[in-house]
Structure 1
Amino acid sequence: MEQYQDLLLKRSLPLSEQVVEAYYRHPRHLFVPEYTLQEAYEDIPLLLYKKGTFVSTISQPSFVMRILDMLQLAPGQKVFELGAGSGWNTALISYIVGPEGKVVSTEIIPEVADRARGILDQMRITNVKVLTGDGFEGYQAEAPYDRVIFTAGSFELPQGIFEQLKEDGLMIFVKKQEKKNDMLQLIKKVQGQMQILNSIPCSFVTVNRSGESRLQDGTL
């Protein structure tokens, strides 16, 4: 296992020490048990769920860690994550923000939410709340947030989520564009306005929406 981990990490560097520590603390293969060790540590996205228009993937690992570095996470922060997926990104964030911090993650696909919640529970990660349902407008009950991260793309940035971000807080948003690459944007909230600090071409699944799907508390 370590040889696969080390090889992937080598391809992902440079990374901050805190992200490297999180990577080794929560090995990726534990979140994709249906794949082999070799597959789990290939630097590619992996399919978790596909049914109709509902698709969930675990993203390319080197990119996941690069994104976490961009977020400038710190102990004690509260983070909102749209799209729990496998729970791996959630676990990495939870490690960096530490026991004084908290991660609120939403997942619209019940089977995927249950799966992530089960793995996080098995790993005894207690500073995470996984909610089942449409998180496109955030989760006001736990706001405000120091950081926000999207793990799926959208043509519009929901104002509700942005309003729940603290002043000077950072957000990773994936902007969908017609007939163009998606753009991963690092956004800072400055005097209540959006300031784009960085923008990187990427490819993500599209945010799933459901008008009938209310957020259900799945506290671990």
Structure 2
Amino acid sequence: MEQFQDLLLKRSLPLSEQVVEAYYRYPRHLFVPEYTLQEAYEDTPLLLYKNGNFVSTISQPSFVMRILDMMQLAPGHKVFELGAGSGWNTALISYIVGPEGKVISSEIIPAVADRARGILDQMRITNAKVFTGDGFEGYEPEAPFDRVIFTAGSFEMPQKLFAQLKEDGLMVFVKKQEKKNDMLQLIKKTQGQMQVLNSIPCSFVTVNRSLGSHLQDGTL
């Protein structure tokens, strides 16, 4: 296992020490038990769930860790994650923000949310919670958030969720564009407005939303 982990990490460097520590604390293969060790540590996305338009993947690991570095996470931060997926990214963030911090993660696909919750429970991670529902609504009871991260792409910016970001807080938003690459944007909230600090071409699954969605199993 360690040889696969080390090889993947070497491809992903440079990374901050806190991200490297989180990577070894919560190994990726534990979040994709349906795949082999070799597959789990290939630097590629892996499919978790597909049913019609509803698709969930675990993202390319080197990109996941690069994004975590971009977010400038710190102990005590409260983070909102749109798209829990496998729960791996949730776990990495939970480690970096520490016991004083908190991660609130939304997942629109009930089966995927249940899967992520089960793995996080097995890991005994107590500062991260996953709810089943529309991430565009954010989670008002825990707002405001120091950081917001998208793990799926969207053509529209969720204004309600942006309003729940603290002043000077950072948001990682994946902007979908017709007939063009997706763009991962690092956005800072400055005087209530969006300031794009960085923009990187990428490819993510598209956000799914449900009409009149509500919190289901795992309500916080």
Short-chain TM bin: over 0.9
Instruction: Give the 3-state SS of the residue equivalent to 2:137 in structure 1.
Output: coil
Which ranges of structure 1 fall in alignment gaps of 5 or more residues?
none
Shift of 1:97: 0.1
What CA deviation, in whole Å up to 9, does each residue of 1:7-35 have, x standing for no partner? 00000000000000000000000000000
Q: Which amino acid aligns with 2:192?
A: G
Partner of 2:180: 180
TM-score (norm 1): 0.98
Instruction: Give the 3-state SS of the residue equivalent to 1:179 in structure 2.
Output: coil
Partner of 2:107: 107
Superposed structure 1 runs of 4+ greater than 3 Å apart = none
> Distance between the aligned counterparts of 1:146 and 1:218, measured in 2?
23
- Counterparts of residues 62-77 of structure 1 (less than 5 Å): 62-77=62-77
> Distance between the aligned counterparts of 1:3 and 1:38, measured in 2?
10
What CA deviation, in whole Å up to 9, does each residue of 1:43-75 have, x standing for no partner? 000000000100000000000000000000000
Shift of 1:217: 5.9
Shift of 1:212: 3.2
1:34 aligns with 2:39: no
Partner of 1:116: 116
TM-score (norm 2): 0.98
Q: Which amino acid aligns with 1:93?
A: I
> Distance between the aligned counterparts of 2:15 and 2:210, measured in 1?
36
1:218 aligns with 2:218: yes
Q: Which amino acid aligns with 1:41?
A: Y
Partner of 2:96: 96
Q: Which amino acid aligns with 2:175?
A: K
> Distance between the aligned counterparts of 2:24 and 2:203, measured in 1?
26
Partner of 1:149: 149
* Cα RMSD, aligned residues only: 0.9
Contact 1:147–1:165 under 8 Å retained in 2: yes
1:197 aligns with 2:182: no
Shift of 1:161: 0.6
* Identity over aligned pairs, percent: 89
Shift of 1:219: 6.1
Q: Which moved more, 1:204-213 or 1:63-72?
A: 204-213
Instruction: Give the 3-state SS of the residue equivalent to 2:136 in structure 1.
Output: coil
Shift of 1:121: 0.1
